[in-house]
Amino acid sequence: MPLRDWQRRALSAICTHQTNDFLAMATPAAGKTRFALRVAHEFMTKQAAVRVLVVCPTNHLRTQWSEAAGKIGLQLDPTLTNDQPAEASDYHGAVVTYQQVCLAPEIFQRVCKSKKTLLIFDELHHAGDGKNWGKALRSAFDPAVFRLILSGTPFRSDNNPIPFVRYEQGESRADFAYGYTEAIRDSVC
């Protein structure tokens, strides 16, 4: 799967990153999904993870993530429910919603503890630490081997911190940023 220049640079940044949390901030339509799936492919190929879990805001996005992953041979279950302990063995992982995780964080924590899991958070700013969602996400996904956070807007209007995001002087700090000006220059959008 060919990558755009910014995606290659961000992938290189992940390879040298020192912590388990990586915030990739990229303007809308820049290719965050493709980038994240390439990261997942790298982690699975190198056996740094044996499972991929994508957490996104809506059920519609669950289907989109699963379809995009399927195009590169990564099978992610978009129908996993909290009644199941984990996805079926013929899947490489699953796609769930923030609400789903927050209703039963202990289920996700158990699976992350038992299988090396790469976490991909799509638009994590939907879950602030000031809400119960932030606490539930921290509990559920602290055991993940790596957490890739994707956002075009890594801040919240209520100023609550976002779980797993690094802050300096009260502001979120991206580990890699690709802004609108760069995207226009590169004819990405």
Per-residue pLDDT tens over the stretch 65-75 = 999 999 999 99
Q: Tell me the per-residue pLDDT of 19-63, one tens digit each, with 9 for 90 and over.
A: 999 999 999 889 999 999 999 999 999 999 999 999 999 999 999
| Range list of H helices, the chain | 5-15, 32-45, 59-70, 98-103, 105-114, 132-141, 180-185
Query: 161 in helix, strand or coil?
Result: coil
Please state, in angstroms and rounded to a whole number, the distance separating the CA atoms of residues 139 and 157: 24
Angstrom distance (rounded) from CA 83 to CA 51: 19
pLDDT at position 91 is 97
Domain positions in the chain: 19-157
Walk along the chain (189 residues) in steps of 10 and give the mean pLDDT of each run. Answer: 91 94 92 96 97 96 98 96 89 96 95 96 69 85 96 65 79 87 84
Q: Is 85 left (phi over 0), alpha (psi -120 to 50) or beta?
A: alpha
Class of 19-157 in CATH: alpha beta
